[in-house]
Chain A
Amino acid sequence: MIIMARQPQALDYTSGTVSDSAVTILGMGSALISSVPTGARSFVGTVESAAVRARGDGTSPSATEGQLIASGDVIYLGESEFSSMEFIRDTSTDAEIRGHFYNVEVDVILGKVT
């Protein structure tokens, strides 16, 4: 049996500002991309400048509630989270999220599925 491993391919790049209002990666301030690239299955990006809080249960995060993600951490989003995972800055300092959309699922990128 021949197993064909899918190779991750960046489809597009985006960056934007996370301020004191909850936003998705498509709704970030000054976002380079406001709609999901065709064929995109995952997003891998890095939080910069300041920490943010994230929440994907349908309720928007606040400065005091939500998963804390430190500056420098790498986030992996699945396709369904492009428009459901919201971010808000943790402190008074705006943060940026910069990353690429890939054509494979997150677990492929993480090497868990070949």
Chain B
Amino acid sequence: MIVVPGGQGLITGVSAGVGLSGGGSEGTVTLTLDLSELSAVTPTNGDSLASIDSDGSTEQLTTIAALATLLAGTGLTASSSVISADDSTASAKGIVIVAGGDGIATSYSSGTATSAVDLGTNSGLEISSNKLQIAKGISQHDVAQFTSNVADDDFLRVDGTVVEGRSASEVLSDISAAPAAGSANIVTTGALDSGSITSGFGNIDTGSSTITTTGAVSTGTIDASDDVTIAADKSLNLAQGAHITFTDQILDNSIDDHDYQGIVFTFRAGDTVTPFSPVYVDGNNEVQECDADAIATMPCIGVSVNTSNVSADADCPVLMLGLVRDDSFTDFGAAGAPVYVSTTVGTMTTTAPSGTDDVVQVIGHSIAEDLIFVQPCLTTIEHA
């Protein structure tokens, strides 16, 4: 039995079709693949290619679209037989599209992307020997900009390797410079060594600091909120028509308890002096409490204004002329009544002493029950 596949009949010849060469009409014939016979065409989507599978056993037809999909790896996308870069995954691997950002220009040539710094025209910067350097000075278009440490209207100061902003006042302090005329405030810890403070300058407030001068101070009214001290051997000179005036009106409460107002001399205590007691000058030029019982402990020159006992040899302030108030006084209720040295040591009374050898001396007048105007009369009367 002879079997002819496909029902073909007797082969009388083999002809080489398109893409094949060889063949014949008798004997053993050979057909050879001859691609030169194929027409040259531009492949399009939908075309197919002949291929053989991986183990070489099966010839197969492969579409160009399928081949493109196979070849499109990471970063590539095949669509209708066209392979293109996938921008969304370009950063992963594969083809990368290089785009120029601000100040960067990118060009392509023969598949190579070249990125270069685009300094623009008339730039103040240039690249020289791979270094970015200033090509020009700072001009109208080249303003230094800082993002930190610098505020609006600041001046710049180099602190080590850092540029920092300094305010106008800080700059004045930094350079120890005199402030410009018209400045609202002068804040300095240094000395004002020269120049002058002219009329209309305004107030000077030194806080708790002092103002020291060896020259004269010419001024209008002086309002002192503390003691005024005049150095030794210096005078408070009052020119013609000048005077010392105690301005507050004298009333029964014009000064506070234990206050005094007037002229006070500081004596040396010859013995203990109790507060607000009349005193006399003893043989040692020291003051002691008066006693109207005997002329030896008189006359009174003033009233001590110490608020606590003054020990012997200590300073003892004595009011020679003026007001003194002590709410413990009880004998001076009759306003305007003369006040005498009492026969009780260190006390005063509105009753004139009348005993033998008692000394009568008016040392002031009552303003109120606890307020006396001290003005000792040095003329005394001694009872026989």
Contact = CB atoms under 8 A, between A and B. Distances in A.
Interface of A: 46, 54, 56, 67, 69-70, 72-78, 81, 85, 106, 110-111
A30 B1 CA distance: 22
Contacts of B3: 67, 69, 73-76
Contacts of B4: 73-76
A73 B5 contact: yes
29 contacts: A46-B7, A54-B1, A56-B1, A69-B3, A70-B5, A72-B5, A72-B6, A72-B7, A73-B3, A73-B4, A73-B5, A73-B6, A73-B7, A74-B3, A74-B4, A74-B6, A74-B8, A74-B9, A75-B1, A75-B2, A75-B4, A76-B1, A76-B2, A76-B3, A76-B4, A77-B1, A78-B1, A110-B10, A111-B10
Contacts, number: 38
Interface of B: 1-10, 12
A46 B2 CA distance: 12
Q: Lowest 4 CB-CB distances: which A-B pairs, in order?
A: A76-B2, A74-B4, A74-B7, A72-B7
B225 to A, nearest CB: 131
Contacts of B8: 74
- Classify the secondary structure of B's interface with A: mixed
A106 B7 contact: no
B344 to A, nearest CB: 159
A75 B9 CA distance: 10
Nearest to B2: A76
A70 B2 CA distance: 13
B24 to A, nearest CB: 16
A69 B6 CA distance: 10
Contacts of A111: 10, 12
Contacts of A75: 1-4
Given A56-B1, A70-B5, A75-B3, 12 more contacts: A46-B7, A67-B3, A72-B7, A73-B7, A74-B3, A74-B4, A74-B6, A74-B7, A74-B8, A75-B1, A76-B4, A110-B2
Contacts of A110: 2, 10
A81 B1 CA distance: 7
Nearest to B6: A72
A101 to B, nearest CB: 15
A15 to B, nearest CB: 15
A100 to B, nearest CB: 14
Nearest to A109: B10
Contacts of A46: 7
A70 B3 CA distance: 10
A85 B12 CA distance: 28
A75 B5 CA distance: 9
Contacts of B2: 75-76, 106, 110
Most buried by A among B2, B8, B10, B12: B2
B308 to A, nearest CB: 142
Nearest to A48: B7
A17 to B, nearest CB: 19
A10 B191 CA distance: 145
A106 B2 CA distance: 8
